[in-house]
Amino acid sequence: MSGAAAVVAVDNNRRADLLRVAARLFRERGFDGTTIRDIADAVGMRSGSPFYHFKSKQEILAAVMEEGLVAGLPTAEAIVAGGLAPREKFRALVRAHLETVLAEGHDFIPVLLYDWRCLTPLLRQRVLVLRDRYDQLWQDLVTELYRAGELASDGKVARLLLMGAINYSVLWYREGQGSDLDQIAQEAVAMFLRRAA
């Protein structure tokens, strides 16, 4: 292994460390409630050092959001493009999404959902490129469900109501208390889909 490759690997690890820790802190305390010093402390750096990896605190926020989208998109795309029946496809997407927003260490998308307003318009536009792809996946599935007679509505509001029901879980779900992810997905399917005649 070359020395240069080792250095790059270390750099990537430190950057990844910062993103993971920042995601957790942003989720717990919010973007404005988290300081650069909190983040630096949590990875064992001095307070000025995160700026060696990121130009600004805002850039960390945008990178956290993009990291979450890049990690979540392939799974979601595979489910929607797959050959499952609409009902099973919905269950799988809901289940995968719950994992994305509720599982231990999965703090990236919750930050996107609830600190979106903290992004400057320019960075918002950048993250939107990926976010739009994620939303489009859901929109496509909503249409498929509607055509299959499984959903009462088509359109954007239908998608937003569904995603809201799922995303809101970030504010109430606590691991080990009450329903687990499978049960919540099951219940969403039962509540929102009608059995196709």
Partner DNA sequence: CCTACCGATCGGTAGG
Among 6, 8, 9, 10, binds DNA (CB under 7 A): 10
The DSSP result for 63-118, as a single string, is HHHHHHHHHHHHHHHHHHHS---HHHHHHHHHHHHHHHHHSTT--HHHHHHHSGGG
Contact between 69 and 134 under an 8 Å Cβ cutoff? The reply is yes
> What single letter denotes the amino acid at residue 143?
T
Q: Is 47 a binder of DNA (CB under 7 A)?
A: yes
Considering only residues 41 to 100 of the shown chain, the ones binding a second copy according to CB under 8 A are: none
- 120 interacts with, out of DNA, a second copy, none, CB within 5 to 8 A per kind: none
For a second copy, what does the binding mask look like between residues 120 and 159, x meaning CB under 8 A? -------------------------------xxx--xxx-
Q: Is 20 a binder of DNA (CB under 7 A)?
A: no
Binding span for DNA by CB under 7 A among 46-54, 85-93, 136-144, 147-155: 46-54
By the criterion CB under 8 A, which residues form the site for a second copy? Answer: 28-30, 32-33, 113-114, 116-118, 151-153, 156-158, 160-169, 171-172, 178-179, 183-184, 187-188, 190-192, 194
By the criterion CB under 7 A, which residues form the site for DNA? Answer: 10-11, 14, 34-38, 40, 44-49, 51-53, 55-58
